[in-house]
Amino acid sequence: MKTRGDSRGPLSEINVIPLVDVMLVLLIVFMITAPMMQHGLGIDIPNVTAKALPAKDEPQILNITKDQRLILNEKKIEARDLKAAIQFLFANKDKKEIFLRADKDVPYGFVVRCMGTIREAGVDKVNIVTKPLDRHER
């Protein structure tokens, strides 16, 4: 009489314990690394008293860092390529609107040149992003 332990045939049961172990390790790794992945750009935008505008569609954002680097929707571009990049971005869109986030220490002339390039690329609305002014700064 053969017992279950004596059979030399293939096992018909799947061992899921290693799969569960791997999944738990991956879960722990992602739980630890997820908060580290949330970082922003070091742009210190100016304060104003105006209220925020409501957004309707996915916003297109041009960031200008303190050292005058351009970042269009989280992609670094050169100033000479700005017009072509914006024309490509808005090629199939009816509503041409962009949000400009510039560090407050960027020279005014550079920001105005970027705004002019954006307008040359055919964008109808250029919105400047600011943060609310604190009460003690008024």
Q: What is the pTM of this model?
A: 0.57
Query: pLDDT per position in the chain (138 positions), as tens?
Result: 455 555 677 767 888 899 999 999 999 998 888 877 666 666 676 777 766 655 556 788 899 988 989 998 888 999 889 999 998 888 888 888 899 998 888 898 998 999 999 999 888 888 888 877 765 555
Domain borders along the chain are: 47-137
CA gap 101, 96 in Å, rounded:
17
pLDDT score for 42? 67
pLDDT score for 25? 94
Could you tell me whether strands 47-48 and 131-132 are parallel, antiparallel, or unpaired per DSSP bridges? parallel
Provide the angle, in degrees to the nearest 10, between the axes of the packed helices 108-120 and 82-89.
50
Task: Give the tokens for residue 68.
Answer: 């005058």
- Give DSSP secondary structure letters for 50-84: PPPPPP-SPPPEEEE-TT--EEETTEEE-GGGHHH
Give the fold, CATH level 3, of 47-137. Answer: Nucleotidyltransferase; domain 5 (3.30.420)
pLDDT score for 93? 81
pLDDT score for 54? 57
* 113 C-beta neighbours (distance < 10 Å), count: 13
CA gap 114, 132 in Å, rounded:
23
